[in-house]
Structure 1
Amino acid sequence: MTKNRIIVTSVVLEDRSKADVARDYGVSSRWVHTLVRRYLEGGWDAIEPRSRRPKSSPTKTKPEIEAEILRLRRELTAQGQDAGPHTIHFHFHLSTRFDTVPSVATIWRILDRHDLITPQPRKRPRSSYTRFQAELPNETWQSDFTHWHLADSTGVEILTFLDDHSRLALSVTANRVTTGQIVVADFRRNIQEYGPPASTLTDNGLVFTTRVRGGKNAFENDLRLLGITQKNGRPNHPQTQGKVEPFQQTMKNWLAKQPPASTLAELQHHLDQFRDYYNTQRPHRSLARKTPAQAYSALGKAGPSGTVDGHWRIREDRVDATGSITLRYNSKLHHIGIGRAHKHTRVKVLVHDRHIRVIATTTGQLLRELILDPTRDYQPQKQQTPTPKSEGFVNHVLRHL
């Protein structure tokens, strides 16, 4: 018997006073009067608890919007993408089917009502983290590699370079094994496209540093010669690489939803797709819902603070069939004539401000030296006399390559 029935029974059948019953059962006299009146008018059913739900709810989310939220959740999850309320809210903004966009809180409540929110009771609160973020693009590049498997269970490795400020994935490459040469090659390609960073942040893997062995590897030599500060995290403390490690986990979640790649080329195709999506389409919560590409292009770029022989860089290239190589200066691509006699020759290009020297990689022969004319797209062949300064510059570089 419910409490309401006991109260009514005490008044109607036992003929007790309403005040005494209210005092004994810890309710107000007005509530006792209300229950008795309801009983006399409608019987026992009338005193059962009534729903407080409003008869109408003008602000209730429309069924078609709720269905779209659930559809987006399923679709994003199947694609291996983030499918949280913020991402679903972003995709609603891209849709032209609806005049209104539900708030993030509304999306969260709908997902929770359908048991689509995964509890994380052991997750540390955000307030407990001390977060670091570079103030400018190219202020710090983080790098790391992680393991993956092809369709036949062959183990491969994926190397990533990530800009700390914007989370822009500078490069993501698949390799049988990540070697020091591969790290240097990817690093130099990124410098060609994005300019040199002020610093790098990696773990203590031998492809990044050999200082524990008392020496320097090719990656460390490039950093030192370009005046780039090298930072390494504490051993067994992956939280130091706090941008690239979560990126790799997000990447793996996405790869797990794709058809297994049979070859490195197929895996690289998947990685290129993911990198494009991550950089240009996926909004990032820590970037005020901007994409990494938007955050990277929003501010000026930092650069090396070192002063090793002025501002210079090194790159590797191959003379094309027309006898030329290309070089980007101040975001503009220039063609430099070397001569058809040297076509397909691998070369090292040593750039000191606008002073350029092109050296054959295998023989060390100086193929071309010039002062770049930034007003001309093509730099025709001209015989120039090397200067003592340039000789000292190239000798210094070659000693450390």
Structure 2
Amino acid sequence: MPWKESTTMSSRLEFVMLARAPKANIAALCRAFQVSRKTAYKWLERYEALGAEGLSDQSRKPRSSPASSSDELELQVLALHLEYPYWGARKLRELLPDYLPRPHHSTVDSILKRHSCKVLGAPVKQELASTRFEHDQPNSLWQMDFKGHFALTTEAAGRCHPLTVLDDHSRFSLCLTAFANERSSSVQAGLQATFERYGLPDRITCDNGPPWGSTGLKGLTKLEVWLIRLGIRVSHSRPYHPQTQGKDERFHRTLQLELLDRRGFGSIEQCQHAFDEWRERYNMVRPHHALDMQPPITRYQRSGRELPNALQPIEYLSSDAVRKVDLKGYIGYANRRHYIGEGLQGQAVAIRPDPETDGFLEVRFCHHKVTQLDLKSLP
């Protein structure tokens, strides 16, 4: 089905913004958004001619260009505050119509104060970090986590567990999906849909616990195995260091403030509908301080790595000793059984000299180093 019915304009605008990025793959975007090339180029032409308003099916009154006046400015500021009551003066300033002069944010703040307009849930002012770490390209790193689950208003409906995936470079929200649990199968389903729409990243980072991390002695989870087979590198934040996932944690606070604190939901379906609307506003409209007051879509570009139709066969070096992991997570080597991890059941792993540590062998699954074997302990 082309475009999401409830958010047609937002989907068209997201498509156009991604398609206008340098070296954008129009054919891949058409497949991801399920539209024909003819339709795609029609919206691109309309956007070039009329801007975002050209993407609407409904006629709109032409934008007037009156002489700037303090009354008009105040009306626009108050209207923006009514629509976005949790955004401060700096963000509202960026959303003022082009025909108005762009005032200093203090002017916008004065208008809000004069009309007793308070920013809802305004956080306590904090010092901004003097150094900000981010990858220099979209899709170099995605951050993934579950937002803390919350109860639905209908007791029998259970709880909602929001899965979030954020691009490190652009802060673009790639996935905001409502699930009834935090199982590995749910995460894989959410990632599958995300990969189909945005392609594959170079690396994904997440925390150490289930469903993405193993709490056992060692080894990979089945979810990690699937990601590694897709050629994605998987890393984990250090235990008790949530700042490693800092951008996604900040995204969670914004989601909590702007949506979850203000709404109750009776079902997972209601949650997802609200998530879709809020996510599109976050990506397409909301100015971001770390992005020079631009929305994340201005920094994001779809990945050129497509999700394959089937996993490719694993290939190792001809000099490797290849072993198959049994149902209990063990391999046999040098007349001994070595535990590799149950997540690798049925998978082939390679054993080769460890180039980083003398006297050890490394056990490798695809590009991922699973563990080491000490040559001194082998017969």
For the aligned pair, the TM-score class normalised by the smaller chain equals 0.5 to 0.7
Which residue number in structure 2 is paired with residue 3 of structure 1? none
Which residue number in structure 2 is paired with residue 239 of structure 1? 243
Q: Shift of residue 264 of structure 1?
A: 0.8
Counterparts of residues 37-56 of structure 1 (less than 5 Å): none
Give yes or no for the alignment of 1:157 onto 2:161: yes
| Alignment partners' CA distance in 2, 1:313 and 1:99 | 45
How many residue pairs get aligned? The number is: 249
CA contact (8 A) 1:199 1:229 kept: yes
Q: Which amino acid aligns with 1:125?
A: E
Q: 2:91 aligns with which of 68, 71, 87?
A: 87
Q: Shift of residue 213 of structure 1?
A: 3.5
Counterparts of residues 292-303 of structure 1 (less than 5 Å): 292-297=296-301, 301=303
In structure 1, runs of 5+ residues without a counterpart are 1-59, 304-311, 316-348, 353-393
Over 3 Å counting, the alpha-carbon distance change for 1:111 and 1:190 in structure 2 is: same
Q: Which amino acid aligns with 1:107?
A: V
Which residue number in structure 1 is paired with residue 311 of structure 2? 350
CA offset digits 1:220-266 (Å, max 9, x no partner): 11232233222211222222111111112222223246652211111
State the SS of the aligned residue for 1:144. strand
Q: Which amino acid aligns with 2:277?
A: Q
Give yes or no for the alignment of 1:225 onto 2:226: no
Over 3 Å counting, the alpha-carbon distance change for 1:88 and 1:115 in structure 2 is: closer
| Alignment partners' CA distance in 1, 2:262 and 2:177 | 17
| Alignment partners' CA distance in 2, 1:258 and 1:122 | 19
CA contact (8 A) 2:154 2:267 kept: no
Which residue number in structure 1 is paired with residue 127 of structure 2? 125
State the SS of the aligned residue for 1:243. helix
Counterparts of residues 235-384 of structure 1 (less than 5 Å): 235-256=239-260, 259-297=263-301, 301=303, 315=309, 349-351=310-312
Per mean C-alpha deviation after superposition, the further-off stretch among 103-112 and 284-293 is 103-112
TM-score, normalized by length of structure 2? 0.57
| Alignment partners' CA distance in 1, 2:231 and 2:180 | 31
Percent identity (aligned): 31
CA offset digits 1:304-356 (Å, max 9, x no partner): xxxxxxxx9655xxxxxxxxxxxxxxxxxxxxxxxxxxxxxxxxx2357xxxx
Over aligned residue pairs, what C-alpha RMSD do you find? 3.5
TM-score, normalized by length of structure 1? 0.54
CA offset digits 1:272-331 (Å, max 9, x no partner): 11111112222222112322222113xx8586xxxxxxxx9655xxxxxxxxxxxxxxxx
CA offset digits 1:202-226 (Å, max 9, x no partner): 1112111106432211221123223
Which residue number in structure 2 is paired with residue 331 of structure 1? none
| Alignment partners' CA distance in 1, 2:161 and 2:176 | 10
Q: Which amino acid aligns with 1:106?
A: T
Over 3 Å counting, the alpha-carbon distance change for 1:245 and 1:84 in structure 2 is: same
Give yes or no for the alignment of 1:175 onto 2:179: yes
CA contact (8 A) 2:144 2:163 kept: yes
| Alignment partners' CA distance in 2, 1:261 and 1:117 | 24
Give yes or no for the alignment of 1:70 onto 2:78: yes
Taking CA–CA contacts closer than 8 Å with sequence separation of 6 or more, which of the two structures ends up with the larger relative contact order? 2
Which residue number in structure 2 is paired with residue 145 of structure 1? 146
CA contact (8 A) 1:184 1:219 kept: yes
Larger-Rg structure = 1
State the SS of the aligned residue for 1:196. coil
CA contact (8 A) 2:198 2:303 kept: no
CA contact (8 A) 2:136 2:169 kept: yes
CA contact (8 A) 2:203 2:232 kept: yes
CA contact (8 A) 2:199 2:304 kept: no
CA contact (8 A) 1:203 1:232 kept: yes
CA contact (8 A) 2:209 2:215 kept: no
CA offset digits 1:56-113 (Å, max 9, x no partner): xxxx982453354234324311xxxx4211221122136xxx6433222321343456
Runs (4 or more) in structure 1 with deviation over 4 Å come to 112-115, 117-123, 300-303, 312-315, 394-397
CA contact (8 A) 1:162 1:168 kept: yes
Q: Shift of residue 142 of structure 1?
A: 0.4
CA contact (8 A) 2:73 2:100 kept: no
State the SS of the aligned residue for 2:282. helix
Over 3 Å counting, the alpha-carbon distance change for 1:123 and 1:291 in structure 2 is: closer
In structure 2, runs of 5+ residues without a counterpart are 1-67, 314-345, 350-364, 367-379
State the SS of the aligned residue for 2:134. coil
| Alignment partners' CA distance in 1, 2:217 and 2:235 | 17
| Alignment partners' CA distance in 2, 1:227 and 1:73 | 45
CA offset digits 1:126-149 (Å, max 9, x no partner): 1x4542111101000001112123
CA contact (8 A) 1:199 1:230 kept: yes
| Alignment partners' CA distance in 1, 2:122 and 2:262 | 26
Over 3 Å counting, the alpha-carbon distance change for 1:203 and 1:293 in structure 2 is: same
